[in-house]
Amino acid sequence: VVEDQYCICRGSYGNRFMLGCDGCDEWFHGSCININSDQAKNVDQYFCPFCVEKNPSLKTIYKNVPKEKERHRERHKEKMRRKEAKKGKHFLDSDSDDQVNT
């Protein structure tokens, strides 16, 4: 029995995590394209290396998920707001120069 071949490696499914290309509908092992199953949850459209080679304007598109740096920044701002609120002060948001009443 010959198994179907997929991916850059031309291997079988092998009960491994796979991600489908939105350009050519080929399937790729996550480990072969350096995307794990957690990362794939944030992928809106994936384009494989073969499709990107044919059309360099294609890019993998990620869902609108805040990046870790932005999340860290937001947590820091919220912490500062709470700290200043305890002191009865106002927190100045340096990004907008707006004073935030707490």
Give tens-digit pLDDT for 10-55: 888 888 999 999 999 999 999 999 999 999 998 999 999 999 999 9
pTM assigned to the model: 0.58
CA 66 → CA 3, 6, 62, 70, 73, distances in Å?
40, 32, 10, 6, 11
46 close to 19: Cβ distance less than 8 angstroms: yes
